Amino acid sequence: MLCFTHVPPLPLFSTSGIYLPASRRFTSFRIRMSSSSSIDSVPPPPDNAIVLGCGGIAVDFLATVDSYPQADDKIRSTSLKVQGGGNAANALTCAARLGLNSRLISKVANDSQGKGMLEELEADGVDTSFIVVSKEGNSPFTYILVDNQTKTRTCIHTPGDPPMLPTDLSQSSMLSALDRASIVYFDVRLHETALVIAKEASRKKIPILVDTEKKRDGLDDLLPFADYVVCPENFPQTWTEVSSTAGALVSMLLRLPKLKFVIVTSGEHGCLMVQRASKGTKPETLSLSLGFKTSYMILSPVHKHHLALSTSAEVFESQETDIESLLETLKHRKDSTTTFPTCVSSETTKLKANGVGTMTGRLFLGTAEKIPPEELVDTTGAGDAFIGAVLYAICAGMPPEKMLPFAAQVAGCSCRALGARTGLPHRTDPRLVPFLV
């Protein structure tokens, strides 16, 4: 069985007795084999935690093919699966299987596909009472071609008709949906309705997570309300026009003062996260005269007792740390030997992005699960699974060092079956036990 092991920060002194600079200190989390972890040891889900989502729902027609066709080709599928999809619906299904009370605001038509989607969500424990059902029109659907050779997928989406409008959701229904909600999640579809809900959620001080899959209509109006953002690779650079990912994340946090953290996911390459330091938190540094140029380092709690050992020690404001250099340090420190997701992080410091600015926070680098090629089936919905796990982690109060590997593991599980929901694990799945205990 598996469990978490905390790897302490680098020691205060190097083997040569010289103080280590801040850029060389980090914290990491990995998992190890243990016989003490079991399903019985998994704690219960957060009490009365409710996640409200607003966004996409669809029927997915998933066809696997030997290879993606060329223009004018006629090919045969090797398998076909029909199941519910849509970013928000997938993420809430994941959250429900993990133990959260999930509610969805969306719209379907009163057709066989719409009825089937509602039944599937209800079977997974998602509250569909706030989904608008149109008497006429068609429910949204997506054709998905899964290439068996490259393990990639191509999606062709047809939106539902008529589209959802803010007037489709009454004020009383919206307030009922928000009642006792722990967090609100948007995939930036149905953006006009989402903005109305976001304003009310913000007024009620309910935290908001936004999935910025790509630049969509209404995104710029919605982002200022976000407490948390999860986005795919390249989005931060596109939105901020900053060339590097790390610098773009700093730019997002500087532009969006309400934002607490932003995560960028990179599939098999893992994820990167920048977390803003909570209000009142200051980086701690140590300055010592050792007969050469004074060096600065960030102190972790386990090293604070060393301050009492030297009367020449004084605490000063933290020096700025170049985020690109810090990222390279974390890349060298990450554990590449295990197949399970891990996380390394910096201490709280002033993160500087050249040409962008400086903010106080922490940098996290998470790895993805190394899935054997013979077990990798389909990556459809892996990002939705990751977000569903992040929603759970926020409600459960997980620290980022535990949240990122947990979300990566959930996403890895989803890639082992065809479709966005088939492989979504339940909280009692043995593969999740070490990340929950």
Q: What is the arithmetic mean of pLDDT over 208-230?
A: 96
Q: What is the arithmetic mean of pLDDT over 258-274?
A: 97
Q: For residue 2, report the phi and psi dihedrals to the nearest 5 degrees.
A: -120, 150
Cβ(413)–Cβ(389) below 8 Å: no
Helix 191-203 / helix 171-178 crossing angle, nearest 10 deg:
60
Dihedral over Cα of 428, 432, 436, 437: its sign:
positive
Q: What is the arithmetic mean of pLDDT over 367-383?
A: 95
Element (H, E) at 246: helix 245-255
Partners of 141 in beta bridges: 59, 158
- Give the chain's length: 437
pLDDT at 203 over 90: yes
Q: What is the pTM of this model?
A: 0.84
**pLDDT for 295:** 31
Residue-wise burial string across 301-321, b where 16 or more C-beta atoms lie within 10 A, e elsewhere:
eebeeeeeeeeeeeeeebbeb
**pLDDT for 151:** 84
Number of H-type helices and E-type strands within the chain: 11, 20
**pLDDT for 20:** 41
pLDDT at 9 over 90: no
For 19-33, 51-65, 234-248, 318-332, which range has the lowest pLDDT when averaged over its residues?
A: 19-33
**pLDDT for 53:** 99
Domain, as residue range, for 29: 2-284+314-436
Q: What is the DSSP letter of 12?
A: S
Cβ(341)–Cβ(262) below 8 Å: no
**In degrees, to the nearest 5, what angle opens at C-alpha 21 toward C-alphas 17 and 25?**
100
With respect to residue 186, please indicate whether it lies within any of the assigned structural domains.
yes
Percent of the chain scoring above 70 in pLDDT: 82
Picking from 57, 61, 129, 54, the residue whose alpha carbon sits closest to that of residue 90 is 57
**pLDDT for 280:** 62
Residue labelled with tokens 């026009």: 241
The CATH number covering residue 100 comes to 3.40.1190.20
Q: What is the arithmetic mean of pLDDT over 123-131?
A: 98
378 CA to centre of own chain: 19
With respect to residue 378, please indicate whether it lies within any of the assigned structural domains.
yes
Provide the number of structural domains found in the chain.
1
**pLDDT for 282:** 57
pLDDT at 316 over 50: no
Amino acid symbol at 369? E
Residue 306's pLDDT band (boundaries 50, 70, 90)? very low
Higher model confidence: residue 308 or residue 232? Answer: 232
With respect to residue 293, please indicate whether it lies within any of the assigned structural domains.
no
d(CA 406, CA 425): 12
Strands (E), 148-288: 153-158, 183-186, 208-211, 228-232, 261-265, 271-276
With respect to residue 289, please indicate whether it lies within any of the assigned structural domains.
no
d(CA 364, CA 28): 9
| Mean pLDDT, rounded, of the chain | 86
d(CA 288, CA 16): 16
293 CA to centre of own chain: 41
Which pair of structure tokens corresponds to residue 22?
């801040």
**pLDDT for 22:** 43
Cβ(427)–Cβ(388) below 8 Å: no
Q: What is the arithmetic mean of pLDDT over 100-109?
A: 98
With respect to residue 308, please indicate whether it lies within any of the assigned structural domains.
no
Element (H, E) at 403: helix 400-414
For 176-180, 292-296, 409-413, which range has the lowest pLDDT when averaged over its residues?
A: 292-296
pLDDT at 85 over 90: yes
Picking from 259, 232, 226, the residue whose alpha carbon sits closest to that of residue 383 is 232
SS3 content of the chain, % helix, strand, coil (to 5): 30, 25, 45
Amino acid symbol at 199? K
